[in-house]
């Protein structure tokens, strides 16, 4: 057999060996990998944002930048977001899909903007006051109790002892008392009568008991 014929057969055999490998490497990879379950870091990212936003609300309540009504609405939004997150996890075997995470992030962004806007508007919590300068009128007993209860709610939110739903309900109760106080004062030249102060005191006592029960019921944010 001549050298040219040998070279021809050798080249043909080599080509036959290489064709299957080339076809396999060029074939599109099958998409067999399942949706990757969330890692601890994925979960922490959502959880950390929620904790951060709860801290911002708590700080706004404590400083008086957020009124009871504003805090109640923000906590209601956070509570709805928490419930939606739980429903998403339940529907996907305990994990969040990429689409779920993107949706939650958009909602967290909206809530973050709302927190900022509410903390920087002109409304402040009436009973929360800075240290009283010399020669000015000190906060009333009603105002001091209101401020104390706001501090207790803020501490519960920050520590996780109060869920967003519980905090929202407490702030709504406080907002109703505040509106009633404003109405009573407007009707009496800016002051509260002894009967009105007694009524407010009873209402504040009820809120105080609700704060205590909610903070010690075993539910956590």
Domain spans of the chain, in order of start: 40-122+140-215
Q: How far apart are CA 5 and CA 211, in angstroms?
A: 96
> Which token pair is 118?
């509410």
pLDDT at site 85: 94
Q: How far apart are CA 210 and CA 152, in angstroms?
A: 11
Band of pLDDT at residue 176, cut at 50, 70 and 90? very high
CB environment 109-125: b (16+ within 10 A), e (fewer)? eebeebbeebbeeeebb
Residue 208 pLDDT greater than 50, yes or no: yes
pLDDT at site 150: 92
pTM (whole model) above 0.75: no
pLDDT at site 41: 40
* Nearest residue to 55 via CA among 148, 131, 162, 212: 162
Lowest-confidence range among 57-66, 122-131, 136-145, 153-162? 122-131
Percentage of the chain with pLDDT > 90?
A: 59
Q: List pLDDT tens digits, range 48-82.
A: 899 999 999 999 998 989 999 999 999 999 999 99
| Residue of higher predicted confidence among 63 and 9 | 63
Q: What is the 3-state secondary structure (H, E, C) of 125-185?
A: CCCCCCCCCCCCCCCCHHHHHHHHHHHHHHHHHHHCCCCHHHHHHHHHHHHHHHHHHHHHH
Residue 154 pLDDT greater than 80, yes or no: yes
pLDDT at site 35: 45
Residues 6+ apart with CB under 8 A from 12: none
pLDDT at site 16: 56
Residues 218 and 160 sit within 8 Å (Cβ to Cβ): no
Residues 162-188, mean pLDDT to the nearest whole number:
93
Strands (E) across 1-106 are located at none
Q: How far apart are CA 35 and CA 47, in angstroms?
A: 21
Residue 40 pLDDT greater than 50, yes or no: no
Q: Is 148 exposed, middle or buried (0-12, 13-18, 19+ CB in 10 A)?
A: middle
> Which token pair is 31?
């998409």
């Amino acid at each position: 057999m001549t050298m040219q014929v040998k070279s021809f057969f050798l080249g043909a055999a080599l080509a036959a060996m290489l064709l299957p490998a080339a076809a396999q490497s060029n074939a599109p990879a099958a998409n067999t990998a399942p949706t990757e379950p969330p890692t601890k870091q994925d979960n922490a990212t959502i959880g950390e944002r929620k904790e951060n936003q709860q801290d911002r609300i708590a700080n706004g309540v404590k400083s008086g930048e957020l009124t009871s009504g504003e805090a109640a609405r923000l906590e209601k939004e956070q509570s709805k977001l928490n419930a939606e997150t739980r429903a998403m996890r339940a529907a996907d075997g305990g994990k969040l899909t990429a689409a779920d995470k993107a949706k939650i992030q958009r909602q967290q962004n909206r809530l973050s903007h709302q927190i900022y806007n509410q903390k920087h508007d002109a409304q402040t919590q009436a009973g929360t006051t800075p240290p009283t300068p010399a020669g000015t009128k000190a906060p009333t007993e009603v105002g001091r109790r209101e401020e104390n209860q706001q501090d207790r709610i803020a501490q519960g939110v920050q520590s996780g002892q109060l869920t967003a739903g519980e905090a929202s309900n407490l702030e709504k109760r406080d907002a109703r008392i505040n509106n009633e106080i404003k109405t009573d004062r407007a009707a009496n030249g800016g002051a509260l009568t002894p009967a009105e102060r007694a009524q407010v005191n009873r209402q504040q006592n009820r809120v105080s008991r609700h704060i205590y029960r909610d903070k010690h019921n075993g539910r956590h944010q």
